[in-house]
Amino acid sequence: MPDSTFFIKTFGCQMNIRDSEIMAQKLSENGYIETSVLNDAELIIINTCSVRGKAEQKVFSMLGSLRKQKLTNPALKICVAGCVAQQEGQKIIDRMGHVDLVIGTQHIYKLPELLAQLSTGRTAINLSDTYEIPQYIPKIQGSQTTDFEPLEPARPFQFSRFVTIMQGCNNFCTYCVVPYTRGREVSRNAEDIVQEVDILVQSGVKEITLLGQNVNSYGSTNTVANGSLPYSFARLLRDVSRVEGLKRLRFTTSHPKDISDELIDCFSTIPNLCPQIHLPVQSGSDRILKRMNRKYSIASYLEKIDRLQSARPGIAITTDMIIGFPGETNRDFQDTMDLLERVRYHGSFSFKYSDRPGTAAASYAEKLSETEKGRRLQIFQNRQDQISLERNREYIGQTLSVLVETNMDGRLMGRSATNHIVHAAGVTGTIQPGAFVDAEIFHAGQHSLLGRLSE
């Protein structure tokens, strides 16, 4: 139904944010118009996440609230995309009669086509069967590797962009749905990636974050979408870092087991690779790591941390932590707290363990109560908050280069190379987003730094 307005609500990780961008682009190309007001939309897309029970509940409560809207406006089309769509498929339509379309993670490129079918009066459509190889690896114009069209260059005022380098995951951590909702790991052609980065940088982007569920295993296990194998992640980093004009390069997410010597080396040899790494550890207990199928020990993890810190002194390290995995004893939890003291993460995302359908851990015995998980999570988060503050105070007196994101009413906000949010007040309006400024840090909070701009 071209000329209709659409609204996309995105839950979950960068993968979904990227997929929402792709859906928005596909719809715009087909004459749809994006609106930021839900009530104005004739098509509502909910791009869903199922990584934890809470994320999934949010989706169903939003869908529930749309039921009324559909009653008052029967022409409204409601589409469920993303990981819950992939996981639940037809069940969503069976449970929620007002949903018109369920589209799995592997099929988003078919969105306009499916909407066209709906507009001819077809009843609810479910397209969410899993393919072994994701079919929607974006293609760059001129490349012969896949059938897909180029993504649009950066919109104005976007100076930092994510570039997908791989899809899916082969790791099957016992708590995680991602291998089921995103399928097997497949890496994108290296030339396409470099070309996309080049296009983005030429259009004004300063900072690129290479994106995948497990970027370190890039090029190791599956087709590089018709490119050559093996092709290491370190090699890709070197290739991308050489794109002329690229000021900052980052990547996320890394699996500790796949951090190679070659990759650690990149932190000493690639100047525009930012001094920052997100390295999810999930638990400080070897026993729990084994039950999680993480394939590394705390000793080997710490050894890698030490080497990363020697390769790039001052590197900011962040992590993810699951608290209250089935069978986690007080001793195991203490091991997690000890690890926190040892590494002193700059920040972390920590979550109560949550059962996910179809995962191995869902059937494990020795589940902890919600209360006990909550109690431990609070202890962990309180200590992490203190450490984040102490870590942030280490920057006081230092001058950091800041990539400006906003500058309004004399208040500037941007990010340092270590990925800290930096604020500065009393700034002139001539500094534009996308500029680099030097800020001398004079105050540190838990979540951000305050600086004075140097002349």
Residues near ligand SF4 (CB under 6 A): 169, 171-173, 176, 178-179, 213-214, 255
- Within 13 Å of residue 169, how many CA atoms lie on the same side as its CB? 23
Query: In whole angstroms, what is the distance from residue 41 CA to residue 75 CA?
Result: 10
* Ramachandran sector of residue 76 (left: φ over 0; alpha: ψ -120 to 50; beta: rest): beta
CA distance 227 to 145: 8
Q: Does 51 bind ligand F3S (CB under 6 A)?
A: yes
420 near 406, Cβ under 8 Å? no
Q: Does 339 bind ligand F3S (CB under 6 A)?
A: no
Q: Does the footprint of ligand F3S cover residue 264 (CB under 6 A)?
A: no
Helix (H, G, I), strand (E, B) or coil at 163: strand
Q: Name the minimum Å distance from CB 250 to ligand F3S.
A: 18
Partner whose binding site includes residue 354, from ligand SAH, ligand F3S, ligand SF4, none (CB under 5 to 8 Å by kind): ligand SAH
- The number of angstroms, rounded, from the C-alpha of 450 to the middle of its chain's C-alpha atoms is 26
- Residue 206 or 278 with smaller CB distance to ligand F3S: 278
Which does residue 320 bind out of ligand SF4, ligand F3S, ligand SAH, none, counting CB within 5 to 8 angstroms by kind?
A: ligand SAH
15 is in the binding site of which of ligand SAH, ligand F3S, ligand SF4, none (Cβ under 5 to 8 A by kind)?
ligand F3S
What residue has token string 């790039």?
312
Q: Report if residue 214 touches ligand SAH, rule: CB under 6 A.
A: yes
Radius of gyration of the CA atoms of the chain, in A = 23
Helix axes 111-119, 14-29, angle to 10 degrees: 50
CB of 30 to ligand F3S, least distance (A): 24
**Interface characters, 246-275, with ligand SAH (x: CB under 6 A):** -------x-x--------------------
Distance of CA 225 to the CA centre of its chain: 21
Question: Closest separation between CB of residue 173 and ligand SAH, Å?
Answer: 7
Subset of 62-101 contacting ligand F3S (CB under 6 A) = 82-83
Give bridge partners of residue 152 from the DSSP assignment: none
In whole angstroms, what is the distance from residue 378 CA to residue 374 CA? 6
Which C-beta is closer to ligand SF4: that of 159 or that of 175? 175
**Does residue 22 bind ligand F3S (CB under 6 A)?**
no
3 state DSSP class of 309: helix
Structure-block tokens of residue 359: 């995962």
Q: Which ranges of 183-228 does DSSP label H, i.e. alpha helix?
A: 190-202
The yes or no reply on residue 336 touching ligand SAH (CB under 6 A) is no
What is the torsional sign of CA 433, 434, 439, 442?
A: positive
How far apart are CB 325 and ligand SAH at their closest, in Å?
8
DSSP structural state of residue 36: S
Question: Rule CB under 6 A: is residue 402 a binding residue for ligand SAH?
Answer: no
Choice from 60, 148, 351, 364 touching ligand SAH (CB under 6 A): 351
CB of 320 to ligand SF4, least distance (A): 8
**Applying CB under 6 A, what is the total number of residues that bind ligand SAH?**
17
Pairing of strands 399-408, 436-444: antiparallel
- Structure-block tokens of residue 189: 């052609």
* 188 is a site residue for ligand SAH (CB under 6 A): no
193 scored as a contact of ligand F3S (CB under 6 A): no
The one of ligand F3S, ligand SAH, ligand SF4, none whose footprint includes residue 322, by CB under 5 to 8 A per kind, is ligand SAH
Contact 128, 114 (CB under 8 A): no
Query: What residues make contact with ligand F3S under the rule CB under 6 A?
Result: 12-13, 15-16, 49-51, 82-83, 177-178, 181-182
Task: Give the interface with ligand SAH as residue ranges (CB under 6 A).
Answer: 51-52, 175-176, 178, 213-214, 253, 255, 280, 282, 320, 322, 351, 353-354, 356
